[in-house]
Structure 1
Amino acid sequence: MTEAGPVFREAALADVPAVVALVESAYRGASSRAGWTTEADLLDGRRTDEEGIASIVADPDAVLLLAEHPAGGPAGARLLGCCELRRTGETAYFGTFAVRPVLQGGGIGASLLARADAEAVRRWGSAALEMTVIAQRADLIAWYERRGFSATGHRRPFPYGDERFGVPKRDDLEFLVLRRATGGPPGAA
């Protein structure tokens, strides 16, 4: 990555296959173990699919942001990261967040989060970002806390039996709801 950092743009339907491949590589299977965001010890199966990603792209109350290499290149090599923003009243839901595993820890995620924060304010005047994280992912929760998120005290059940979210390897999974005011810290490591 150059000092200029990634370039950002809104995803189009043509980007769906590359986004699915990126998200899967960051969270599932052997490739996910090259980074630290893997859920491979908690879940098997898929993390997303083309239908799910296409629905985000098509939703007028959502945007899928892409972080790309500034020098371009083939679609698979150009895509560095992605995230979803969805208008949910005064807050914006932040999800579908992935960075190519071999590039994790290099600042792309923090840059993408900062851009998502600014986009939520610009597009919808959002006062906060809200997200869910599997509660058993202490390392990931700590990363978000260093970037200004905190637990809301709310938890949501994991959708057992719905394989669109993966095939659980344990029976105690649940989601922790995290929130931060927009304009939060861009990201100290």
Structure 2
Amino acid sequence: MDTATTPPGAPPLTFRDATEDDVPALVALIESAYRGDSSRTGWTTEADLLQGQRTDEDDVRAVLTAPAARLLAVERAGELIACCQLEHRGEAAYFGMFAVRPGLQGGGLGKVVIAEAERVARGAWGVGEMHMTVISLREDLIAWYERRGYRRTGRLTPFPYGDERFGIPLRDDLAFELLVKEIGDGLPQS
């Protein structure tokens, strides 16, 4: 288990690979960060763009069982408070399923999680880039990623309209944009 720096007096964060036992809690965390009224407590909500589910147990299990993927669970005092998916894709790692409990958003936890994810991807796979896709209309979220060193590529992928596994769109102009960050020299870190 890896631990990260936390504010003075706060219990340390623990990063670990998620397990099958974590699946229901991971789904609840991801849903709470992006959909429904609970997501409005934080700033990462997609509730004005999409209704329905963000993920489900099958999607989370698919990440857990994929041979080139990891799902990091982030805990404080044994309580799940954040997570993210990492997937090895050649010279890059894909970063997704990123969620921080809504009431904890805006306090720096996301910065710590993404930095740890970049460190893990470099160390595990020796990749030099991190890739992610973000709904292109999410200007505040994209600006947050840009402050972390990610850059917009302008490469768009259409939103999968009609596939309710990704949610029920409230707009007809949704697309995913690829964001990229150089995270190292591509050599495994020790």
Same structural fold, with TM-score higher than 0.5 when normalized by the shorter chain: yes
Alpha-carbon distance in structure 2 between the residues aligned to 1:163 and 1:7: 33
- Are 1:61 and 2:60 an aligned pair? no
| Segments of 4+ moved more than 2 angstroms | 1-5
What fraction of aligned residue pairs are identical, expressed as a percent? 57
What is the aligned residue count? 178
Please give the per-residue CA displacement for 1:39-92, whole angstroms capped at 9, x wherever unaligned.
0000000000000001101111000001100x22xxxxx011000000111000
**2:24 aligns with one of 4, 17, 40:** 17
Alpha-carbon distance in structure 2 between the residues aligned to 1:182 and 1:13: 29
Alpha-carbon distance in structure 1 between the residues aligned to 2:109 and 2:63: 21
Structure-2 residue corresponding to 1:187: none
Task: Give the aligned residue type for 1:28.
Answer: R
Q: Normalized against structure 2, the TM-score is what?
A: 0.91
Alpha-carbon distance in structure 1 between the residues aligned to 2:85 and 2:169: 23
Alpha-carbon distance in structure 2 between the residues aligned to 1:154 and 1:114: 24
Structure-to-structure mapping, 1:9-48, within 5 angstroms: 9-48=16-55
Helix, strand or coil at the partner of 1:22:
helix
Alpha-carbon distance in structure 2 between the residues aligned to 1:141 and 1:94: 14
- RMSD of aligned Cα (Å): 1.3
Task: Give the aligned residue type for 2:164.
Answer: E
Which ranges in structure 2 are unaligned for 5 or more consecutive residues? 1-5, 185-190
Alpha-carbon distance in structure 2 between the residues aligned to 1:36 and 1:160: 24
